[in-house]
Chain A
């Protein structure tokens, strides 16, 4: 068990720690700080105390050494409808850096019904995989939790990778938890930073929490392996492709039959708009300022010229002006496009949580005090119904459309 200790003699009663606790577990009693059962041992208060009166006693487990049975960095080679997802290549890029820091191999693992598998393996190798572990079976034709989780668990149990990285897509986030729970190991979701501790060689997994208001670096205790993490698309850059690279292919049968699979895919209804938010390089988003469903017309027109996806704030979705599929933000989608153009969006914290890591943010809003201007790369204070159509016209001229 961990313990948060506050030295009452050292505590000066300055109360600096009280508001630093995300869970409200600290309070003042008789002019010293005390902690209650809401404490989750996250450590946010420890550094805040100006007199170092707070210490967090951790388990000795943390300092034990890992067994060494587990080796190599594995990347899940996700594919959908005949194409490997870019996030798999991005992870191979970062995986290379991690494998070099640990001093081990970089491998991919792939589950498929065989259709196109040779091409997928070639691409994985071209982007850096030294080995690719493959399980093939007709029941792996389309992604379903049961056969894919079974395939991953089987490969991991047999070959014991030390680190497993999976893209945080709907596919990845669906089966990563299943795999980690079955193997009883740690899983850190939506990492935005991954690096290796130079001394312990552990994987340091950094991720946002509380809607991106704080960052936390997570470690796994040494007796839990592999260290598993999911990473959102576009967090890491695409690595260099080298078709001259060679890699080993290791095949393993899938120990599952169709009768054992508990779900059936009945249908797939393609999304109304062609460009999907998560993969989009450019997003044009509308907020309360668009006024009504028709107001989105100018947003859509700009998006069309830029070949961009259309996003929306929660206010517009709640008002029924645009479907939920377009919502960007804490209870919608998190996006990382190269350019995010926010039209008539005030920029509430929950919306920012979904888009503030975009490369370039453009804000167009009538209100000069709108919070969005604080994070925008470029801002125009003005009426979006005047500015946005002009932008569309200007881009049409420049792009010859």
Chain B
């Protein structure tokens, strides 16, 4: 099976805080990580290869520093990795990003399964996975909590999708794009050998020209949406700490909650 996995490098959100004096965004240092959901996607790719054979191709669209997460992917066992980097890609919204990734998957060719994380923790949109599927003209399965089985010969896959009030079991044809949830598996740690190999590897950078994209459909140019304003949210201040013995504070709390009329 030929498996494609898409990774995104994101800022570590614990370190993105608001400066209480100036009310602006602050980032301590520049720590970047692999989007947590994408780590599950990569592991699912590796597990699928272990079960059914094949190759895992991993790509990331981003600035040159995104090469770090691709090195990590090599270290855990990805077969081939690609950095999609070009000034033309900057400022891309989800439409332009999905276009660029889909063109890359087409260029790699013969992909049976595309695995993405459910969403990125900076943008939080969950739109790129479905966008890639639409561009490639293949079906999508989102919110995948478990891959039950794959039949590469019959080109079929069966998954469990986690919905609001239960799990839906769905069967679909291959090729397909799946977006995966946290805890679908347990991402492995790289071995020392893997880390050494990855450190020595040369990772190809594909530019807009090399992938063969239409320059009008990538980056800021290819994005229908743009950010007009960025501001910090109204900070939710603390309320009151109820003081006293439990015998006093508990009934007091219950009174307040009953008064709210939300308890029925």
CB neighbours of A152 from chain B (8 A): none
Q: Is the CB of A204 within 8 A of B240?
A: no
Interface membership of chain A positions 245-289, coded 1 if the CB is closer than 8 angstroms to chain B and 0 otherwise: 000000000000000001111111111000011110110000000
Asked if A356 lies at the interface with its beta carbon under 8 angstroms from chain B, I say: yes
CB neighbours of A16 from chain B (8 A): 22
CB neighbours of A184 from chain B (8 A): 95, 224
Asked if B239 lies at the interface with its beta carbon under 8 angstroms from chain A, I say: yes
Q: Is the CB of B250 within 8 A of A266?
A: no
Asked if A39 lies at the interface with its beta carbon under 8 angstroms from chain B, I say: yes
Q: How near does chain A come to B73, taking the closest CB pair, in angstroms?
A: 20
- Which of B139, B141, B226 is in CB contact (< 8 Å) with A218? B226
CA distance A217 to B232 in the complex (A): 11
CA distance A331 to B16 in the complex (A): 16
Interface membership of chain B positions 85-124, coded 1 if the CB is closer than 8 angstroms to chain A and 0 otherwise: 0010011011100100000000000000000000001111
A263 in contact with B24 given A22-B11, A189-B127, A376-B238 (CB within 8 Å): no
- Closest chain A residue to B10 by CB distance? A210
- Which of B27, B133, B223 is in CB contact (< 8 Å) with A19? B27
- Which of B26, B37, B227, B242 is in CB contact (< 8 Å) with A216? B227
- Closest chain A residue to B223 by CB distance? A186
CA distance A332 to B119 in the complex (A): 11
Chain A contact residue count (CB 8 A cutoff): 116
Asked if B201 lies at the interface with its beta carbon under 8 angstroms from chain A, I say: no
Say whether chain B's binding surface is mostly helix, strand, loop, or mixed.
mixed
Q: Is the CB of A391 within 8 A of B253?
A: yes
Q: Is the CB of A379 within 8 A of B242?
A: yes
CA distance A187 to B247 in the complex (A): 52
CB neighbours of A13 from chain B (8 A): none
Q: How near does chain B come to A88, taking the closest CB pair, in angstroms?
A: 14
Interface membership of chain A positions 27-56, coded 1 if the CB is closer than 8 angstroms to chain B and 0 otherwise: 000000000111111111001100000000
Asked if A324 lies at the interface with its beta carbon under 8 angstroms from chain B, I say: yes
CB neighbours of B176 from chain A (8 A): 262
- Scoring B127, B225, B233, B240 by chain A CB atoms within 10 A of each residue's CB, the highest score goes to B225
Q: Is the CB of B16 within 8 A of A210?
A: yes
Interface membership of chain B positions 168-196, coded 1 if the CB is closer than 8 angstroms to chain A and 0 otherwise: 11111100100001110000000000000
CB neighbours of B220 from chain A (8 A): 1-2, 41, 59
Interface membership of chain B positions 208-244, coded 1 if the CB is closer than 8 angstroms to chain A and 0 otherwise: 0000000000011101111111111100111111100
- Closest chain A residue to B66 by CB distance? A38
Q: Is the CB of A270 within 8 A of B165?
A: yes
**Interface pairs (16), CB distance under 8 Å:** A38-B63, A41-B220, A174-B140, A177-B126, A181-B130, A209-B123, A210-B13, A214-B18, A219-B226, A224-B225, A269-B167, A271-B165, A349-B13, A380-B246, A394-B250, A399-B263
Given A176-B130, A177-B130, 12 new contacts (CB under 8 A) = A41-B90, A170-B143, A175-B130, A178-B131, A181-B130, A214-B231, A220-B225, A221-B225, A276-B165, A324-B182, A349-B14, A379-B238
B residues within 8 Å of A by Cβ?
A: 11, 13-14, 16-19, 22, 24-30, 32, 36-37, 63-65, 87, 90-91, 93-95, 98, 121-131, 133-135, 139-143, 145, 158, 160-173, 176, 181-183, 219-221, 223-233, 236-242, 246-247, 249-251, 253-254, 256-258, 260, 262-264
Chain A to chain B: the 9 pairs with minimum beta-carbon distance, closest first: A24-B30, A186-B224, A177-B130, A224-B224, A189-B125, A338-B262, A377-B239, A177-B127, A267-B169
